[in-house]
Amino acid sequence: MTLSPRAWWAARAARRNSTIFLESSLARVAWQRTRKAVARWAWLGLVFGAIAGLIVFAPATWLARAVASASSERLLLADARGSIWNGSAVPVLSGGPQSRDAALLPGRLQWRLGLRAWAFELRLRQDCCMAGDVVLRVRPGLGSFAVQLMPGDAILGEWPAAWLTGLGAPWNTVQPGGSLRLTSPGLTLEVAIGRWHVSGQADLELDNLSSRLSTLERLGSYRLHLDGSAATPILMLSTLDGALLLNGTGQWTDANFRFRGEARAKPGLEPALDNLLNILGRRQGALSILSIG
């Protein structure tokens, strides 16, 4: 069939318009896909940017809440300032939820948190009570959690024994005086599947302790020694000197801690220590039996 010149030009124009329309439609579809992809990546960028901003600028109060929760509100970081990476707070010992007992330290605890050797490194400093920076390496894992106290100064810190009154009974009744001195050449605590593993050693010396429950100005000095060299970590209480004689041994078995010991007065000083011995444990004649767990 032969088309007339007019019909031929009309058919050609129609084909050209159809091609233009098709190309326009394809371009429009491609543009829509590009726009959606750009919008999707923009939203992802905003989300990841917001998350990164929260991590970088996370306030110190978040760390304070985490510490309170982990310690059942026995240790509080009051008046937290700064961020979780670089901040400060006032350490407070408390008797826990609903308790009215609380005792704070005279000075702010400063911290810096960073990453080192595939672990979090936490540096602590407190001018009133710590000899220098105390460095902790924290390694979270699947079903495990490890905290390593890095070797440093022989004396890590010294705190007033009166700080313990914040924990409530029996410390708020005993009202201890004196100081607590912590030393360690290095210590690692690890929790895996609910079980505690300890390696290294640490000593807590209770120096020149006193109590309002005794007429004596000084009860004595004592040492708590933690030894993690054995398969089962051992905590030993011993008397260095004084009128009140303390001794005992504790052990960790899986997630449980059990301590057994005794307290007694030096011969001739029983009347001055009778009230204190009644508070410390279960009386058994001249002895006061100490029991935890």
115-164 pLDDT, tens digit per residue, is 877 788 999 999 888 878 889 888 877 777 788 888 766 788 899 999 99
pLDDT tens for 211-222 read: 999 999 999 999
The span from the CA of 116 to the CA of 268, in Å, is 57
Nearest to 251 by CA among 230, 262, 273, 235: 235
The span from the CA of 287 to the CA of 290, in Å, is 9
pLDDT of residue 53: 41
The span from the CA of 155 to the CA of 134, in Å, is 10
DSSP one-letter code for 2: P
pLDDT of residue 190: 84
At position 272, the amino acid (one-letter code) is A
The span from the CA of 288 to the CA of 280, in Å, is 7
pLDDT tens for 262-276 read: 999 999 999 999 999
pLDDT tens for 237-270 read: 999 999 999 999 998 776 678 899 999 999 999 9
Tell me the pLDDT of the chain averaged across its residues: 81
* Stretch among 11-15, 69-73, 162-166, 206-210 having the lowest mean pLDDT: 11-15
Q: Identify whether the C-beta of residue 50 lies closer than 8 Å to the C-beta of residue 39.
A: no
pLDDT of residue 254: 66
DSSP one-letter code for 15: H
pLDDT at 193 over 80: no
Q: Identify whether the C-beta of residue 198 lies closer than 8 Å to the C-beta of residue 189.
A: yes
pLDDT tens for 55-98 read: 555 788 988 998 898 888 899 999 999 999 999 999 999 988 88
Q: Identify whether the C-beta of residue 56 lies closer than 8 Å to the C-beta of residue 114.
A: no
Distance of CA 30 to CAs 36, 39, 91, 248, Å? Answer: 10, 14, 61, 79
The span from the CA of 262 to the CA of 254, in Å, is 24
